[in-house]
Structure 1
């Protein structure tokens, strides 16, 4: 399973946004994510990747770009 492809697909499905050309752009500033959207995305990530995202990992600065989300998932998979 390719984490990048899955995450981009989830963001597209949940928020109807293709962020593949803005991997390092702040998704909150771009209007893609908000607090409720973050919760939705984390629930999808936990289900899809069979991981638990600790609340301490969910800070805006920690998961505010597609690349940071992908890296965060990879770190949790390898923990």
Structure 2
């Protein structure tokens, strides 16, 4: 079951660079999350961490969004 992510945004960590990572932000269940999406697919969460039960599904959905936007 996919979780509902809204207002997903990403931008490179460094100007004119596609690597090594991207800043991401989105809303889930009305809570704003930010983090860094690394080339390896790992997510370094900002000050707000998602609930433990939601994290695996959120990571999967974010990975799919990044594949679509970055590696198209």
Q: TM-score per shorter chain, which class? A: 0.3 to 0.5
Q: Which has the higher strand share?
A: 2
Q: Which has the higher helix share?
A: 1
* RCO comparison, higher one (Cα < 8 Å, 6+): 1
Structure 2 length as normaliser, TM-score?
A: 0.37
